[in-house]
Amino acid sequence: MSDASSESPVDSSSNIENENKNEDGPCTKNIKMLENEVESLKVQNESMKAKLLDANMR
């Protein structure tokens, strides 16, 4: 039983290190790229809403 408990902290620290490595990986870059694209689409959506409202008021 002492063997299992002694392995747990080592496994936990290696998992944390792997998670930290993944934060700087391509997934983070993809997430940032998608967040930027979403923001751009929100701006385009608001612009189109304004154009439609303007056209509807004429």
Express each pLDDT in 34-57 by its tens digit.
999 999 999 999 999 999 999 999
The letter for the amino acid at 52 is: L
Note the residue count of the chain.
Answer: 58
Q: Give the mean model confidence (pLDDT) for residues 2-30.
A: 64
pLDDT of residue 18: 63
Q: Is the dihedral of CA 22, 25, 29, 30 positive or negative?
A: negative
Flag whether pLDDT at 6 surpasses 90.
Answer: no
For the chain, give the percent of residues with pLDDT over 90: 53
